[in-house]
Amino acid sequence: MSRSSERELCYVLKSIPFRERDLILQLLSEQRGRFSAIARNGVQSRRFGGTLDLFTCSEFELGGKAIRIAESGEETLFSLESGVIRFAPKTLSKSLEKLGAASCLNELVLRMLPPQKPAPEIFKLVSNTLVGIDEAPSEKALPLVNAFILKMTQWLGVQPALTRCLRCETPLHEAPGESVQVQVAQGAWLCDPCMPGTGAPRLSKSVILDALHSLLHPIRKVEFHADLDDHGRLLELLEQHLQYFVPGFDREKISSIRFLKSPGLLP
């Protein structure tokens, strides 16, 4: 397979050493979506510099040839000839919360996006979320991950129904009490009068309001009001939501989420 040389703006999602000095990378671009590439002599390379670092957005020159790496022929391995950094996070390495959040973003994209399918809206979402995590205080990293997951469920068409009680359709602000009962299998919630005295997991109305704002507004304009304890519980239930509604997530947990659940990250 051959192609003329071209340049493409990409985020680095994953990097794996290959042979002695090569790197195989998973990249995300606006036009090509998620795809694989090889950087020959990419280990500690002056030619590539920091362009191959995780979470970095670089403009890469793709070589004229691509190697088929799957028997089906659906995925190919492109060659990286050179790169120029366009965005490099400044604060991720200084905050375990931010590093865990950025790692979770990359893992979700790797698992949700099929290879070589254009996804310009996901490219922009990843870009805005990473910049938001990099620029915001560390305590905002977890809420931004929740907002990102909710945006991804919206893109996949499996977003939870959050505005009204599943059974009586009472609006959130009219539901009695300060919390509601979550029904993971229905992707919705019930107010207490509709299902009294059960052991269903609960979420505060405040964090559900944060979730609603996350679905309705650009991610860098979402204002979060619930505390980190609430967002920690929301993250756990969003993970269950993905396991229930997104194929493949029931077979393997999101490994990077454990960093956001660590005792040092949540009060």
Q: Do 82 and 113 share a domain, yes or no?
A: no
Contacts (Cβ under 8 Å, ≥6 apart) of 84: 51, 58, 59
Q: Within a domain: residue 234?
A: yes
Total structural domains within the chain: 2
Model's pTM, two decimal places? 0.90
Report the DSSP pairing between strands 76-87 and 33-39.
parallel
What confidence tens digit (pLDDT) does each residue in 216-262 have?
999 999 999 999 999 999 999 999 999 999 998 888 888 888 777 65
Query: Where residue 118 sits, what CATH number does that domain have?
Result: 1.20.1440.120
Provide the pLDDT for residue 65. 63
Taking only the tens place, the pLDDT of each residue in 70-91 is: 443 446 789 898 899 999 999 9
Is it the case that residue 264 has pLDDT exceeding 50?
Answer: no
Query: Looking at the predicted structure, is the pLDDT value of residue 67 above 80?
Result: no
* Average pLDDT over the chain, rounded to an integer: 89
Return all residues near 79 (Cβ < 8 A) that are at least 6 apart. Answer: 37, 38, 40, 62, 63, 65, 66, 67
- From the centroid of its chain, how far is CA 126? 7
Say yes or no: 68 and 138 in one domain. Answer: no
In the listed set 87, 116, 147, which residue is the last one of a domain according to the structure? 87
